[in-house]
């Protein structure tokens, strides 16, 4: 990674001038205030932000009275706060490059304000606020280098969503594997109190949208979630600790401590889907060498054969599949330490490498459960294990079954990434927390599960009936914040059937972004495909130079365009149980004539319609989709 430029210019403002903040393009503004318990402005009180969006026909309030503050067991930083009389403003302009994700070249442009506070005991806290063209981020900082440890007992950050808004939120689970329910959907638990990040909101009858999440967690942070308040539309940030637990079981801070960024991506749906704000605000790349980070497609045997890696012959079958499909990787999933039936792990690695396929390996992050287990729990054991993997010829690891979102687990994630990078190993986190910007800090983090993915076809019938709807929600929610290891594109059935069409399944290869894209079906599912569909899967990239939302609405439809080099790929999904016509436009193309190779629904849900269509930048086509159907394809410029 290289930094092209970083410009920080500091100004000092008095409080009266600095209350009003704006984004570089002026479309988003924020106003800071201190108020008393009655809501009156005061010189010492409770801190609040108001956020306004002006990129539409009229100014739209996004958040009014966003309450701020933190409380420690020794001091309160949420009331009786006083500005110390000086506020720093800076203009941040940065360029960076990524190895994988929705866009290769990134721009980190923001206006930043730092508010300096003292409480009534003269203890200090800073509030850092950044306004971007596509959102707002803020964090808390304790600037004093206090050597004592203090427990954070509560965070007061509370988002109050405007009345009349619509939401897409995921009931909190430790693995972040659930559906993003709309407020119009029937929730499984009407009394749901905790909700996971990210959460999506439609404001002012879809005029503008906001996705709330967090970013840039250090080993001194815990991961947060949202707790529903008594007031409708009120959501307070909460940590994973039990408020009734003893102080020894809380989040402890010391020294020059910063909270994670609280991030609100704001704009039209196009801005939400295309945003890289979660990574933009995160700590820059910490690796001196990233040449070993090479995104690619992976053959994977677990979806079809849950214990497939125990069988050497099955492993060979999936290596051969990777060869035929021109995919660079294969994954040896759980129980590779029990491999038999003609060969062991060393034999499997040797066979894969002899065929030009790079093996990846699964690990249990914990101390019990499926094997191999307890090999990554300490720095010493990791270094020993990773050195052995280098000697064996392994290119990456999939680490599963993380316990929780507490501070020690966040540190464990980062320790794994750092130690793996020492041995040039790529990492995939499963049974894990949702992405929070670490793929910028540690580019060897290729993808994260944290999604109700195709693996759930193993576990029950729910995915069968809800997959199409779910697949058209994820690009607007979970996949916005980082790579998503959904394990897509299946044509045969696992333990429970799928009723999405073959064209819908094929389109998931482009609709879902993941630096390691684990294609989940059994070999027969891919080898039975007509040649154009098979060729598409042999060539489709997994890392992108650009991403554009063409049109869509969560739970109904989505049409995406992604670019790799000079070639654009398109994907359309019908999320409903009725036939639907999706419109595909080409405004993202440069001038000239193009040929669109389109693979869409045929006469039945298992048939494809394959066409070559001449298009230009100004053109548009309408694609008929079956219930739960879709389309995909690619565009090549006519020379």
Q: What is the pLDDT of residues 389-423, one digit of tens each?
A: 999 999 999 999 999 999 999 999 999 999 999 99
Per residue in 23-60, pLDDT (tens digit) is: 999 999 999 999 988 888 888 999 999 999 998 778 89
Residues 62 and 64: their CA atoms lie apart, in Å, by 7
Which residue is listed with tokens 């080409």?
A: 586
188 — pLDDT class (breaks 50, 70, 90): low
> Do 187 and 171 contact (CB within 8 A), yes or no?
yes
What 3-state class would DSSP assign to 198? strand
User: β-strands 135-142, 124-132: how paired?
Assistant: antiparallel
Among 413, 416, 426, 97, which Cα is nearest to 280's? 97
Determine the length of the chain.
639
Local structure of residue 41 (DSSP, 8 states)? B
> Do 574 and 630 contact (CB within 8 A), yes or no?
yes
Among 55, 76, 59, which Cα is nearest to 150's? 76
Residues 138 and 132: their CA atoms lie apart, in Å, by 11
> Do 446 and 293 contact (CB within 8 A), yes or no?
yes
How confident is the model over 90-116, as a mean pLDDT? 96
Q: What pLDDT is recorded for position 7?
A: 42
331 — pLDDT class (breaks 50, 70, 90): very high
Is the pLDDT assigned to residue 5 strictly greater than 50?
Answer: no
Taking CA 472 as the corner, what is the angle to CA 443 and CA 575, rounded to the nearest 5 degrees? 155
63 — pLDDT class (breaks 50, 70, 90): very high
191 — pLDDT class (breaks 50, 70, 90): low
Q: What pLDDT is recorded for position 17?
A: 39
Q: What is the 3-class SS of 60-103, one letter each residue?
A: EEEEEEEECCEEECCCEECCCEEEEEEEEEEEEEEEEECCCCCC
Is the pLDDT assigned to residue 611 strictly greater than 60?
Answer: yes
Average pLDDT, the chain: 94
Go through 358-390 and write b for each residue having 16 or more CB atoms within 10 A of its CB, e for each that does not.
bbbbbbbbbeeeeebbebbeeeeebeebbeebe
Comparing 11 with 338, the larger pLDDT belongs to: 338
What 3-state class would DSSP assign to 31? strand
Which residue is listed with tokens 């070639």?
A: 567
Residues 280 and 136: their CA atoms lie apart, in Å, by 12
Q: Which residues contact 484 (CB under 8 A, 6 or more apart)?
A: 447, 448, 449, 450, 451, 453, 474, 478, 512, 513, 514
Per residue in 344-393, pLDDT (tens digit) is: 999 999 999 999 999 999 999 999 999 999 999 999 999 999 999 999 99
Domains of the chain, each with CATH number or no CATH:
6-280 (2.70.98.10), 296-531 (3.20.20.70)
Per residue in 120-149, pLDDT (tens digit) is: 999 999 999 999 999 999 999 999 877 888
Local structure of residue 140 (DSSP, 8 states)? E
């Amino acid at each position: 990674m290289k930094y092209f430029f970083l410009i920080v210019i500091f100004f000092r403002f008095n409080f009266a001038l600095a209350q009003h903040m704006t984004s570089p393009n002026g479309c988003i503004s924020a106003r800071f205030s201190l108020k008393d318990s009655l809501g009156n402005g005061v010189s010492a009180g409770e801190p609040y932000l108001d956020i306004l969006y002006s990129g539409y026909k009229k100014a739209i309030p996004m958040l009014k009275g966003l309450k701020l503050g933190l409380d420690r067991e020794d001091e309160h930083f949420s009331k009786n706060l006083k500005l110390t009389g000086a506020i720093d403003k800076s203009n941040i302009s940065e360029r960076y490059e990524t190895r994988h994700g929705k866009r290769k070249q990134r721009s980190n442009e923001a206006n930043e304000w730092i508010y300096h506070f003292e409480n009534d005991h003269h203890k200090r806290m800073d509030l850092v606020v950044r306004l971007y063209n596509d959102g707002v981020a803020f964090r808390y900082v304790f600037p004093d280098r206090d050597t004592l440890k203090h427990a954070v007992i509560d965070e007061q950050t509370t988002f109050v969503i405007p009345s009349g808004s619509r939401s897409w939120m995921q009931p909190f689970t430790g693995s972040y594997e659930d559906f993003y329910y709309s407020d119009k959907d029937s929730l499984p638990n009407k009394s749901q109190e905790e909700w996971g990040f990210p959460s999506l909101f439609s404001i002012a009858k879809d005029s503008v949208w906001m996705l709330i999440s967090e970013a840039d967690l250090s080993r001194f942070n815990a991961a947060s979630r949202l707790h529903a308040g008594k007031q409708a539309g009120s959501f307070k940030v909460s940590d994973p600790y039990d408020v009734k637990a003893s102080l020894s079981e809380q989040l402890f801070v010391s020294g020059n401590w910063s909270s994670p960024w609280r991030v609100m991506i704001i704009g039209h749906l196009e801005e939400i889907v295309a945003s890289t704000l979660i990574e933009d605000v995160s700590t820059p790349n910490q690796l001196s060498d990233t040449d070993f980070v090479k995104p690619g497609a992976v053959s994977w045997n677990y979806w079809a054969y849950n214990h497939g890696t125990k069988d050497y012959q099955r492993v060979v079958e999936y290596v051969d599949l990777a060869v035929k499909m021109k995919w660079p990787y294969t994954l040896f999933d759980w129980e590779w330490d029990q491999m038999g039936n003609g060969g062991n792990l060393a034999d499997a690695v040797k066979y894969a490498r002899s065929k030009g396929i790079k093996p990846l390996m699964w690990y249990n992050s914990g101390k019990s459960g499926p094997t191999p287990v307890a090999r990554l729990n300490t720095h010493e054991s990791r270094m020993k294990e990773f050195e052995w993997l280098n000697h064996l010829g392994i290119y990456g690891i999939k680490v599963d079954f993380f316990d929780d979102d507490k501070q020690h687990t966040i540190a464990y994630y980062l320790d794994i990434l750092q130690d793996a990078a020492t041995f040039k190993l790529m990492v995939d986190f499963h049974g894990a927390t949702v992405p929070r910007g670490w793929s910028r800090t540690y580019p060897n983090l290729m993808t994260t599960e944290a999604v109700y993915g195709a693996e759930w076809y193993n576990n029950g019938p729910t995915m069968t009936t809800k997959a199409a709807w779910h697949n058209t929600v994820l690009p607007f929610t979970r996949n916005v914040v980082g790579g998503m290891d959904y394990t897509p594109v299946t044509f045969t059935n696992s333990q429970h059937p799928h009723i999405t069409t073959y064209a819908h399944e094929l389109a998931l290869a482009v609709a879902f972004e993941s630096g390691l894209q684990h294609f989940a079906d059994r070999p027969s599912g891919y080898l039975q495909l007509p040649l154009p569909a098979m060729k598409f899967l042999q060539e489709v990239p997994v890392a992108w130079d650009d991403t554009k939302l063409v049109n869509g609405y969560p739970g109904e439809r989505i049409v995406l365009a992604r670019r790799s080099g000079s070639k654009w790929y398109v994907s359309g999904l019908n999320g409903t149980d009725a036939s639907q016509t999706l419109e595909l436009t080409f405004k993202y193309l440069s001038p000239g004539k193009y040929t669109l190779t389109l693979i869409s629904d045929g006469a039945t849900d298992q048939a494809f319609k394959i066409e070559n269509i001449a298009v230009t930048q100004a053109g548009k086509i309408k694609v008929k989709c079956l219930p739960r159907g879709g389309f995909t394809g690619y565009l090549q410029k006519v020379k």
